[in-house]
Structure 1
């Protein structure tokens, strides 16, 4: 069994590209590789192993891919970045804030209370509090995500806005661990 797993790991190649589309309801989507060639299948389980349930169309992605009987498939997500066309400051609510201040807000662990993509918003709760944190769909998109599920664990950067506490960034729950070394270096 271990020999088979070792061979599978050896057969994987690192690729970069962008997400063509991903549908959480269908449980899959496709990646367009930078080097050209056929689209690469991105299964929901591979994305979940990275700590996300969705990804925005156009997001930059680095993966380990493997050839299967059905073609090339993503086996491991190495990194994700929001789409290049995602607005840096998506809402007028953030216009009065210095972008450096917004980026310096601590990442706080939270759970999604509910999110309705059609309505364009939802709410989360920071762990240990009952306070609702407003989540706007444009913040979700600029964070590189497409949807959120009730109970999903995330990391949020939060400000006190004119209409209450609101997220300025929504990241996978383990973003604190992945970003800590980078932020410590700054």
Structure 2
């Protein structure tokens, strides 16, 4: 089941960061779980979708990708 959250911070040099989960919990994210080709990184404040799993040290994000944006109709 997919969960949405916003990137709290992500350090591209270290390859990890945290997402703010739907209930305000910190969710660890590692660059290896970011879906996509090439350099995998996240920007602070970006809205992402991911699978929330319980790891040994707390919540972790798996299969992270950009959240789908609803199409905006131009009138």
Task: Name the TM tier (shorter chain).
Answer: 0.7 to 0.9
Q: Retained in 2: the 8 A contact 1:158–1:169?
A: no
Look up the SS of the partner of 1:138 in the other structure. Answer: helix
TM-score (norm 2): 0.81
Q: Retained in 2: the 8 A contact 1:114–1:124?
A: yes
1:158 shift after superposition: 1.1
Moved over 3 A (4+): none
Aligned position for 1:152: 46
Aligned position for 2:73: none
- CA distance in 2 between partners of 1:144 and 1:115 (Å): 16
- CA distance in 2 between partners of 1:154 and 1:120 (Å): 16
Q: Retained in 2: the 8 A contact 1:123–1:134?
A: yes
Higher helix share: 1
Aligned position for 1:130: 24
- CA distance in 2 between partners of 1:109 and 1:168 (Å): 12
Higher strand share: 2
Aligned position for 1:117: 12
- CA distance in 1 between partners of 2:28 and 2:11 (Å): 12
| Higher RCO (CA-CA < 8 Å; seq separation 6+) | 2
- Which runs of no fewer than 5 residues in structure 1 stay unpaired? 1-105, 178-186
Alignment of 1:1-186 (within 5 A): 106-127=1-22, 129-140=23-34, 143-144=35-36, 146-174=40-68
TM-score (norm 1): 0.34
- What is the number of equivalent residue pairs in this alignment? 68
